[in-house]
Structure 1
Amino acid sequence: MSGPTASAPRSTEQESTAGWAPTPALGRAVLLAGLLLVAGVLLGRVDLVVLAAPFALGTAYALRRRPTALPQVWITSAEDGPLVEGGEVSAAVGVGNPDTVDYDVVVVRSRVSPWLRISRAGFASTEPADAPPPAETSTAAGRGRSVADRPFVTSVPAEAAVDLELAGRALRWGRHPVGPAGARVAAAGGLLVSRAVITEPVGVRVYPRTEPFEAVEAMPRAAGLVGAHHSRRPGEGGELAGVRVFAPGDRLRRVDWRVSLRARQLHVAATLSDRDAEVVVLLDVLAEAGRSGGVDGAASVLDTTVRATAAIAEHYLHRGDRVSLLEYGPGARRLRPAAGRRQYLTVLEWLLDVRAEAAQHEPYDQVFGPQLLSSDALVVVLTPLLDERSAQMLARLARAGRFVVAVDTLPADLTPPKDRGWAEVAYRLWRLDRETMIGQLREHGVPVVRWAGAGSLDQVLRDVARLATAPRVGGR
């Protein structure tokens, strides 16, 4: 039992020491001192020995305390609250010196996602107050550039640490990595250099910016017993349905005394119950189009889809409705219906993993399995209508009696390819074919409206609610 225990410290020390290698400066110093000493002894010249003495003594003095421990590198991300597109992001790459020997030169470099524009970077010391400060390096970024992808140099005293602070702006939603980060150290007067120590990246969550969105209260049907939408069913609520004669079980606070005194019989005010609705937001992720320019630039299909989903979910969840999310794609991800602020935060987290992915087969049966979609739910489909299967899916939902609203997420400023030949003509023909497909969907009873923020769905929701409450005419 004592053998392995005694050999463990030596093994650890050997591994730590093995991470250090001599620099060319050490080789040159040893070679020059050795040549001068050998030449002085062979030739009997004392002046050559005197010349070799500074090199030998300087090398020996620098190597009197050799480092044994490699530097420690870590990445921390400061998240005081939810980070939204366009918000300020901050992170730090820490470098620690666990050894008893000072690190003369520390070179730190870190990769950062291009959607995190780092505009300020510099070292901040976290060492004891009585220790000497490190050599601080800071760089100001030019306009539209990130300063993170460059080496930063500092020094770290023994048993201390420094932080390379990175500050900038988040340009787009998603999970963006900060790192991997690495550091190399030179010690013993630059005669020894460590191997590169690399740490794993840290993800920064950037939530989509919710565009202003308001919609009318018209809903096709309501399913729950609580909520902000009025139903046709009598019950406890705030919408007056009429006045009727008092019946056993009625509450006294519902008695209409003015009508009761006039009719000389107790009458109560009848109300309609408040009921919540279920809203299903379906994200078409079969194709992507357009080039994302971040929060200040042009929006791609995924940008519009994700931001519109966040705005729609925020609106209906604020009104007490239940919201669920579905992906129309090979992944067929889904988020169960729920209400409240927790569901809104879950929606934002769920949207961070939205990716466009082509499917080799029809994903309809995979997405709309049995008992996954309520018959009373309002289905809002966010689709660019770039794939014929998306149009077929909308038509099948309409034929199944679902309340469907299609929101066109294709960028309005989508330009044709600039290739020579028939590219522009083919683009115009594709546009005409797409308009024909939208017209066919409207003939099938699927309203198609372009996303334009606040008020985009008002008229469509009124039409859908009017169709849902209209009496159905049966053939004889």
Structure 2
Amino acid sequence: MRPAAPGEEAVFAPADDIPEWAPTRALGRAVLLTGLLLITGVLVGRVDLVVLAIPFAVGTAVALRRRPRERPRIALTVDDAYLAEGDEAAAVVTVGNPDVPAYDLVVVRTRIPRWVRVEEGDRPRLLTLPPGGVEEIELRGPANRWGRHPFGPALARAAACDGLMASRPGIAAARDVKVYPVTEPFDADEAMPRAAGLVGGHRSRRPGEGGELAGVRIFGPGDRLRRIDWRVSLRTERLHVAATLSDRDAEVVLLLDVLAEAGRSGGVGGSASVLDTTVRAAAAIAEHYLHRGDRVSMLEYGTSARRLRPATGRRQYLTVLEWLLDVEAQPSPYEPYDQVFGPHLLSSNALVVVLTPLVDGRSAEMVARLARSGRFVLAVDTLPPAAAPPRRTGWSDVAHRLWLLERDNTVGQLREHGVPVVRWAGAGSLDLVLRDVARLASAPKGVLR
């Protein structure tokens, strides 16, 4: 991923016309002490108490001679570069003093995202701002997990008049930093089970313009001269042309099961949860097939039922990465909306890759329905080896082992129904399964008479 242009300049939020400053407790103590000394001195007739009150009164008056009118202005900007997991994210908090009096102290605090490791954390920063002064605070740290990570909101509160006046806080809205998933190496060398279009990178059984040699035949009307095989033509004394098979594209549907989350996410260098494995595997598979010229679409099996239409090219790859940033677990006791799997959305020729942990029984039923509909379905197991579903209070190790046995039975039943289930293991993990699916697709079908 290449970084884009630097982020836009900070734009300050306009200050209100109403005064935004209020007296502090220090001002109240100074006024109270001065008043007590003056009243006591007058009542008891002691001049020394009146003289003792004069410095407090003069000091307070001098400090308040130039009161500020506007609260500090603050803006938050983030770097708009394309970031992958492990790259350094950056944000800049800009604080300004639009008033004539100086700020004695400005306290700035910014909320830091959970998955961005900033060295100073979200501890308050202390500044002093002269009249018209501007200070910038730079926040940098590695982003350890994919997703949209909000920097902010940022807050700035100032004190002036020797600490006798304090402003209302200036607030800058949060800004999202986009961190894209790291695509694990993936390369499937096997052919697609069935291609749909006439242009693409897969070999078909239909003769046409392509790069796969199908044989040599006699020259006929409509054949191009560049296809003439001169060696065979000279030997047989008749024009022969090289026949080729057309290159066809395929549609790949990536179906993400987001009904349940299991395992603990440790970021890019730690353990992976179900969503981590699902998102990274989907990005890798989409990148591979889009690079080969195939159409890729995305579907979610969950309560929101999000969908990304099929398309090809680099723009679709960037759209897929943007779409994956919003993937989140959607547990629900209700049955997910199944009409997204209708024939108008899922082509009969498409290869449906279901990324599922098979933790919820509804997921296995969904995969079985897709297989019974006659589509080419491949289930990719995204459950980490050491992961388990969210345990209820009182769950024992025996109950956990029973759950594992039940899940193994579910996987076995899917395989008996003709649905291959394979654990995601990066490059080449789907080659053997795709070879079997392609062989089944090309096998002759029985016909009842």
Length-normalised TM-score, structure 2 = 0.92
Quote the residue 1:313 is aligned against.
286
Q: Deviations over 1:370-407 (max 9, x none)?
A: 41001111111000111112111111111211111100
Quote the residue 1:136 is aligned against.
none
Aligned CA distance change for structure 1 residues 71 and 347 (closer, same or farther; 3 Å): same
Aligned CA distance change for structure 1 residues 416 and 185 (closer, same or farther; 3 Å): closer
Quote the residue 2:425 is aligned against.
452
The CA deviation at 1:43 is 5.2
Residue identity in the other structure for 1:271 = T
Quote the residue 1:16 is aligned against.
18
Provide structure 2 residue ranges, at least 5 long, that are not aligned to the other structure. Answer: 1-13
CA contact (8 A) 2:105 2:127 kept: yes
Quote the residue 2:65 is aligned against.
64
Match of 2:329 among 356, 359, 367: 356
Aligned CA distance change for structure 1 residues 303 and 154 (closer, same or farther; 3 Å): same
Give SS of 2:154's match: strand
Q: Distance in 2 between matches of 1:14 and 1:313?
A: 50
Q: Distance in 2 between matches of 1:286 and 1:103?
A: 52
Quote the residue 1:128 is aligned against.
none
Match of 2:256 among 274, 279, 283: 283
Quote the residue 2:402 is aligned against.
429
Q: Deviations over 1:11-54 (max 9, x none)?
A: x999532x211112222222333333444455555544433332
2:253 paired with 1:251: no
Q: Distance in 1 between matches of 2:345 and 2:16?
A: 60
Match of 1:303 among 253, 276, 301: 276
Q: Deviations over 1:326-368 (max 9, x none)?
A: 1111211110011111101100100011111124343363221
Residue identity in the other structure for 1:253 = R
CA contact (8 A) 1:220 1:464 kept: yes
2:270 paired with 1:268: no
2:30 paired with 1:29: yes
Q: Deviations over 1:412-438 (max 9, x none)?
A: 012699999762222111111111111
Q: Distance in 1 between matches of 2:262 and 2:15?
A: 56
Q: Distance in 2 between matches of 1:63 and 1:421?
A: 64
Q: Distance in 1 between matches of 2:276 and 2:185?
A: 15
The CA deviation at 1:90 is 0.8
Give SS of 2:117's match: strand
CA contact (8 A) 1:175 1:203 kept: yes
Aligned CA distance change for structure 1 residues 397 and 14 (closer, same or farther; 3 Å): closer
**Which piece of structure 1 moves more, 448-457 or 48-57?**
48-57
The CA deviation at 1:303 is 0.7
Q: Distance in 2 between matches of 1:466 and 1:116?
A: 47
CA contact (8 A) 1:416 1:424 kept: no
Residue identity in the other structure for 1:118 = V
Quote the residue 1:193 is aligned against.
166
Quote the residue 1:99 is aligned against.
99
Quote the residue 1:374 is aligned against.
347
Quote the residue 2:113 is aligned against.
113
Q: Distance in 2 between matches of 1:179 and 1:429?
A: 45
Residue identity in the other structure for 1:71 = P
Match of 1:383 among 333, 356, 359: 356
The CA deviation at 1:475 is 3.8
The CA deviation at 1:83 is 0.9
Provide structure 1 residue ranges, at least 5 long, that are not aligned to the other structure. Answer: 1-11, 120-146
Equivalences for residues 145-156 of structure 1 within 5 A: 147-156=120-129
Q: Distance in 2 between matches of 1:199 and 1:76?
A: 9
Give SS of 1:16's match: coil
Aligned CA distance change for structure 1 residues 14 and 162 (closer, same or farther; 3 Å): closer
Quote the residue 1:88 is aligned against.
88
Quote the residue 1:130 is aligned against.
none
The CA deviation at 1:294 is 1.3
Q: How many residue pairs are counted as aligned between the two chains?
A: 436
Q: Distance in 2 between matches of 1:44 and 1:432?
A: 94
Q: Distance in 2 between matches of 1:95 and 1:60?
A: 28
Quote the residue 2:55 is aligned against.
54
Q: Distance in 1 between matches of 2:186 and 2:366?
A: 26
CA RMSD of aligned residues (A): 2.1
Residue identity in the other structure for 1:22 = P
Residue identity in the other structure for 2:78 = S
Quote the residue 1:470 is aligned against.
443
